[in-house]
Amino acid sequence: MSRKKNRVAFLLLLAALLLQYGCITSPVAVTSSTTPVNDKKIVMNYGPVQGTHRVWSVFGLWMVGRPDIDLAIQDALKKKGGDALINVSCYQKTSWFFFVSENKVVVEGEAVSFDAGSLEKDRGKQTIKSKK
Amino acid sequence: MSSWIPTMHRWNKKIHGIAGLAGNKPWRRCIAVIAALLCLGMYSGCLYKGVRVTGLESHAKVMEGKTYHILGEAEGTSSSFNLLWILPVTPRIDYDRAVNEAINSLRGDNLINVRAWFERQVWIIGMVEILHVKGTVIQYER
């Protein structure tokens, strides 16, 4: 009898878990690149990469921190290297569990490296300005 | 003194509010903790706080030149307040205003590597919406 009770309780708990779980994905942006590439020469394409950054919400009401797109880009670039992403798409995923929800920003694109000369030129410009 | 002890035992076994829910059963303790956390959250006055990523762009305005100086990272915001969550009492959030604030903070011409996110805070008296725009401010070479 007690085994039957336990089984019913387990099934109820499983049903509750399934009912409490939810997920939604919303598109954020599509862009050609994360940084202007007009004056830069792409020397290497590392292929598609994906980066994420996630934060948690208490009861789905109070978010602790914020989903940071910068960290997601850095995460993507860390995987294969590169200076920037091209053909970028970005979306946000929210999943609800019992008492918490997960907010995740996902960045997808192709990691590329620029010609070192154009990057140095950029850095040089920055130095010139900061000296003033 | 000995007559007090059974009375205290009986009193301890009674359920008194949320604290009383935390009895021997673990699920009761769990409910009590959740209720206490919810009360604590609501007590601060903040009913909801959430952030949504809204944009990722290589540049905020049309690039007018190919050569530029990088002035540095800057962030601009634009916010609005709705009294009782629905009555707007300030101008609506404006993407242009946030971009211009970021550019003007470093006296530049354009913003590149643009990231934008939208923050919403629901309080007891109203709702605050804040649009953040962050990026690298540039100045074209003339």
In a domain, A3, yes or no: no
Lowest mean pLDDT among A28-32, A124-128, B40-44: A124-128
- Residues from chain A contacting residue B63 (CB–CB below 8 Å): 36, 38
Confidence of residue A115 (pLDDT cuts 50, 70, 90): confident
Residue-wise DSSP of chain A: -HHHHHHHHHHHHHHHHHHH-EEEEEEEEEEEESS--TT--EEEEEEEEEEEEEEEEETTTEEES---HHHHHHHHHHHH--SEEEEEEEEEEEEE-SSEEEEEEEEEEEEEEE-HHHHHHHHHHHHHHHH-
Pick the closest to residue B78 from B45, B107, B54, B108 (CA basis). Answer: B54
In a domain, A29, yes or no: yes
Section A74-100 average pLDDT: 90
The CATH number of residue A79's host domain is 3.30.110
Q: Per the structure block, which two tokens stand in for A122? A: 């950029």
How many domains would you assign to chain A?
1
pLDDT value of residue B111: 93
Does A69 contact B47 at a Cβ distance shorter than 8 Å? no
Does A59 contact B54 at a Cβ distance shorter than 8 Å? no
DSSP state of B93: P
pLDDT value of residue A131: 34
Q: Per the structure block, which two tokens stand in for A110? A: 């192709």
End-to-end CA distance of chain A: 84
User: What are the distances in angstroms from CA A43 to CA A39, A48, B62, B112, B142?
Assistant: 13, 16, 25, 21, 29
In a domain, A31, yes or no: yes
pLDDT value of residue B130: 95
In terms of Cβ atoms closer than 10 Å to its own Cβ (0-12, 13-18, 19+), residue A18 is exposed
In a domain, A4, yes or no: no
pLDDT value of residue A41: 86
- Which residue in chain A is spatially nearest to B72 when comparing CA positions? A126
B70 vs A126: CA distance, rounded Å: 5
Pick the closest to residue A86 from A125, A129, A30, A131 (CA basis). Answer: A30
pLDDT value of residue B11: 53
Section B112-117 average pLDDT: 93
pLDDT value of residue A97: 82
Does B53 contact A61 at a Cβ distance shorter than 8 Å? no
A85 vs A107: CA distance, rounded Å: 9
- Residues from chain A contacting residue B69 (CB–CB below 8 Å): 125-126, 128-129
Confidence of residue B124 (pLDDT cuts 50, 70, 90): confident
Tens digit of each residue's pLDDT (9 = 90 or more) over B70-90:
999 999 999 999 998 889 999
In a domain, A120, yes or no: no
Does B58 contact A90 at a Cβ distance shorter than 8 Å? no
- Residues from chain A contacting residue B67 (CB–CB below 8 Å): 39, 125
Beta bridge partners of B6: none
> In this complex, how many residue pairs, one in chain A and one in chain B, have their CB atoms less than 8 Å apart?
82
- Mutation pick from B56, B71, B120 vs chain A, by most beta carbons of A within 10 Å, is B56
Q: Where are the alpha helices (DSSP H) in B50-130?
A: 95-105
In a domain, A68, yes or no: yes
Count of CB atoms situated within 10 Å of the CB of A121: 13
Q: Which domains does chain B have, with CATH numbers?
A: 4-42 (no CATH), 45-140 (3.30.110)
- pLDDT reading at A109 higher than 60: yes
Q: How many percent of chain B have pLDDT more than 70?
A: 80
pLDDT value of residue B21: 52
In a domain, A47, yes or no: yes
What residue numbers bound the domain in which A45 lies?
Answer: 22-115
pLDDT value of residue B20: 54
pLDDT value of residue A128: 37
pLDDT value of residue A3: 79
In a domain, A129, yes or no: no
Section A6-15 average pLDDT: 84
- Residues from chain A contacting residue B134 (CB–CB below 8 Å): 70
pTM (2 d.p.):
0.75
Mean pLDDT (chain A, rounded) = 83
Section A66-94 average pLDDT: 92
Using DSSP, state whether B26 is helix, strand or coil. Answer: helix
pLDDT value of residue A123: 54
